[in-house]
Structure 1
Amino acid sequence: MSAAWHGAEQPPGTAQGAEGREGVPADAAKRPPVALPRQRQDPCPPTDAAPAAPAASFTLLVVGDDPSGAFTAPYFQEPGSPRIRVLRARNLTAAARLLGDEVHCVLLDLPDVLGSLHQVLRLAPAAAVLVLTDGPDEAAAAEAVRLGAQEHLAREEVDAGTVTRAVRYAIERKRADLAQRQLSETRLLAQENRRLERGLLPTPLLEGASGLRFAARYRPGRSRALLGGDFYDTVRTPDGTVHAMIGDVCGHGPDAAALGVELRIAWRALTFAGLGGEELLRTLQDVLVHERADEEVFATLCVVDIAPDSRSAELHLAGHPAPMLAVPGRPPALLPYDEGGPALGLLPDVSWTRVPVRLEPGWCLMLYTDGLIEGRIGQGTQRLGQDGMVAIAARHLADGLAGEELLDAVLTEVRELNEGELTDDVAVVLLERRA
């Protein structure tokens, strides 16, 4: 076999020799000394000194014939520095059999060092690479570093201290390079995800809805995400009807977010196709059943269809919290929810009741997901609930807030009562037609 491992752990029968080095075989006195240029010997520790903690060890794979015999020793070590164990391979074919996670650094001592460097980087992308040069060949050394090597080492400089430092520095540089590359890849992936998720957020289609004001706020519960399982949309069809919806897919993570996007896009397409009421909800339930990854996944939904004259609306609830309606002269209140049906995906044969809603001049309608009302009040177990949310909105409406300012004020107060960010996805949609 063309490769041999000279850096194995101490076998049984080793002892500390007269020079004080650990790991020397018991019959070392009978063997000729190893020819190693300027290899430093460890001093004999005082007999009354406490045993020093073992230093970290690295494994160096030397690829080449090593004509000078500079790497015939089983290891290199400087006092107080990591111990460098040495593996030997005559060529890249033998090196490929030894390369693995236990090899921290590869030293190339081959005639075509630049050509072999490409193969080593491909075979061991996580290992640091040193190149051994004859004399001050700075051009070849610089080219090797440019191609991916961490450092070069001159043959006449090989001794215990130089090898130990070179290997140690090369490994640290490689770790820094890998960390920087991983950080860059993570940033690029995050940017791509943000662009993708931003493109999946809805753009309301309300052209021609004169006097109607729209505002929305969306915050996913997942850290560093832009999209959660909550979804919403608002469109105006050619007959002048304004359709608004908000929903919530159970669960968290990318699967819930993807299903929410599919339901939102399906709702918009079906609405423009003329479907509404129960027929629309049944079709959306079919979409959910076919697209969900698990039979236990369901989604709540609230759909509001506002008449072209903005004086009336129709409400359908599928397991979703009822919207809040505010009109001048009266405190805000929740719309009727007793006749609402179950969430989508729970029952195969189900019906959803249409609830008529009267809209008086100056109305304000707020749709929301349960993430807004499930926040805690202080350190206890009490939840904010729908009544608490309505009370908060009433105070800010009395102060004259509207649109995005109203939503920002409500969300800020809810987070303050929760004493921190809300853990669930939150979506809020506001439609207003002020007198």
Structure 2
Amino acid sequence: MHGFAARDDVVRSGAPEDDDTVLRILVVEDDEGDAVLVREHLQDGGLPHETVWVRTVDDALSHLAASDCVLLDLGLPDAMGLGALQRVLAAGAPPVVVLTGLSDTDAGVEAVAAGAQDYLVKGDVGPDLLARAVRYAVQRRRLEDTGRALYQSLVRAAETTRLERALLPTPAVRDPRLEVRVGYRAGRDGLLGGDFYDVVERPDGTVLVMVGDVCGHGPDEAALGATLRTAWRTLVLAGIGADEILELLERVLAAERARPEIFTTVSMLAVHPDRRTADLYLAGHPVPLRLGPPSALLPAGQRGRALGIPVGGGWPAERLELGDRWRLLFYTDGLLEATVGDGTQRLGKAGLLEVADRTLRGDVETDGAVRPDEDPVVGMLLSGVRARHGGDLVDDAAVVLVGWGG
């Protein structure tokens, strides 16, 4: 004889304890005799389980989160017919199997259409049928959840691909003699951050190179970076003077950022048509390298503030005399912030210069993670930094290498 206490009490029955297989079943039934019968059928059906019995939907709502399946009567004191089902589904119920009387089979069909996994007629239910219905309901919900998660994953992957194209576009350069190499590595969490780059050649032969980094890390920063990168290319293609671009880009930042404390660092180069001279603009960004070996930092006497910082000052140009042959490396601070040794020191500029030289000499130690679709030189450089760091970088890193061979 199975005894039931007051409707608010929890009554557990069932099977040997097995955390991997025991199903937690919530029986919502106001008739004590029917509830006892359901419990006995579950035991006789050989389904490892534990049950909680309540008499009303109101009582059931507090048990939904801890349940794997709900057996729901459609005739309850506080809810009748589909109203009972709708209330538990709206509260985030696990899979629901409804229980109907012999004359209510139409209601059972309507309940399945409304979101129940199955319906059973009380007078026709035996141990095997009930156990099978519960097991299948749980399995179907798990398959639905898995399919939904897979779909969401595919959607996120497609969105990430579109966002990556906006942050990291194909360089728009016509001059075949100009060397342009680009690369990017996401940080440790694998998500895109706010790093972005672009390279565009104007009709007069001027080539503009840009690398930027929105402070912070996450989807909002990535979306803002994509907006700024798109705006930068638009300004370049519109023929805006190089000395005006950063000011206009800051206006876009101010209009599009979610919070006033968000800022962006940018390094920009305007290579003149003669390919021997260029103007460098720095907006709070790490100084680019002139590659050797030996590699060295470019002159940085004219440094400007980061975009979005509410202080005075602009972005004066640093005129560079490049000569007949040169290679320059632009990058974001994810490379500099790689930790080395015991993890208390950063790679820094000196470490990056060494990795760059060893990459160009071909004797850099890598982590073996150069991707097949990656530019070999930039890929070796990024892999060399990762090897020094000991794995995935904490922050994402964008790299642009531009060069001229005379």
Q: TM-score, normalised to structure 2's length?
A: 0.76
Residues 1:352 and 2:315 aligned together: yes
From 149, 159, 163, the counterpart of 1:183: 149
Q: Which residue of 2 aligns with 1:321?
A: 286
* Aligned-pair CA distance for 1:274: 2.5
Q: Which residue of 2 aligns with 1:126?
A: 93
1:329-375 Cα deviation digits (max 9, x unpaired)? x6221101232111112234312221111223331111001111110
Q: Distance in 1 between matches of 2:151 and 2:83?
A: 22
Q: Which residue of 1 aligns with 2:131?
A: 165
* Aligned-pair CA distance for 1:259: 1.7
Q: Which residue of 1 aligns with 2:362?
A: 399
* Aligned-pair CA distance for 1:399: 3.3
Q: Which residue of 2 aligns with 1:9?
A: 9
From 232, 240, 245, the counterpart of 1:275: 240
Q: Which residue of 2 aligns with 1:260?
A: 225
* Aligned-pair CA distance for 1:170: 5.4
From 325, 328, 335, the counterpart of 1:362: 325
From 61, 64, 74, the counterpart of 1:100: 61
| Partner SS state of residue 373, structure 1 | coil
Q: Check 1:73–1:391 CA distance in 2 against 1; reply closer, same or farther (3 A cut).
A: closer
* Aligned-pair CA distance for 1:379: 2.1
| Partner SS state of residue 165, structure 1 | helix
Q: Which residue of 2 aligns with 1:246?
A: 211
Q: Which residue of 2 aligns with 1:46?
A: none
- The answer to which of 388-397 and 276-285 deviates more is 276-285
Q: Which residue of 1 aligns with 2:78?
A: none
Structure 1 unaligned spans of 5+: 11-21, 24-40, 43-51, 90-94, 111-115
* Aligned-pair CA distance for 1:62: 4.3
Q: Which residue of 1 aligns with 2:166?
A: 200
Q: Check 1:86–1:6 CA distance in 2 against 1; reply closer, same or farther (3 A cut).
A: farther
Contact 1:233 1:264 in 2 (8 A): yes
Q: Which residue of 1 aligns with 2:387?
A: 416
Q: Check 1:181–1:188 CA distance in 2 against 1; reply closer, same or farther (3 A cut).
A: same
* Aligned-pair CA distance for 1:108: 5.3
| Partner SS state of residue 188, structure 1 | helix
1:291-348 Cα deviation digits (max 9, x unpaired)? 2222222111111001112111110111111111135xx6221101232111112234
Q: Check 1:100–1:204 CA distance in 2 against 1; reply closer, same or farther (3 A cut).
A: same
* Aligned-pair CA distance for 1:388: 1.2
From 326, 343, 363, the counterpart of 1:380: 343
Residues 1:234 and 2:199 aligned together: yes
Q: Check 1:184–1:146 CA distance in 2 against 1; reply closer, same or farther (3 A cut).
A: farther
Q: Check 1:282–1:144 CA distance in 2 against 1; reply closer, same or farther (3 A cut).
A: closer
| Partner SS state of residue 135, structure 2 | helix
Q: Which residue of 2 aligns with 1:31?
A: none
Contact 1:6 1:86 in 2 (8 A): no
Q: TM-score, normalised to structure 1's length?
A: 0.72
Q: Distance in 1 between matches of 2:252 and 2:35?
A: 70
Q: Check 1:109–1:331 CA distance in 2 against 1; reply closer, same or farther (3 A cut).
A: closer
Aligned-pair Cα RMSD in Å: 4.1
Q: Check 1:404–1:196 CA distance in 2 against 1; reply closer, same or farther (3 A cut).
A: closer
* Aligned-pair CA distance for 1:215: 1.3
Q: Which residue of 1 aligns with 2:51?
A: 84
Residues 1:58 and 2:25 aligned together: yes
| Partner SS state of residue 339, structure 2 | coil
Q: Which residue of 2 aligns with 1:35?
A: none
Structure 2 unaligned spans of 5+: 76-80, 365-373
From 392, 400, 405, the counterpart of 1:429: 400
Contact 1:316 1:354 in 2 (8 A): yes
Q: Distance in 2 between matches of 1:310 and 1:398?
A: 25
* Aligned-pair CA distance for 1:121: 6.3
Q: Check 1:316–1:102 CA distance in 2 against 1; reply closer, same or farther (3 A cut).
A: same
| Partner SS state of residue 71, structure 1 | helix
Structure 2 counterpart of 1:408, one-letter code: G
Q: Which residue of 1 aligns with 2:352?
A: 389
Structure 1 counterpart of 2:341, one-letter code: G
Contact 2:188 2:393 in 1 (8 A): no
Q: Check 1:146–1:224 CA distance in 2 against 1; reply closer, same or farther (3 A cut).
A: farther
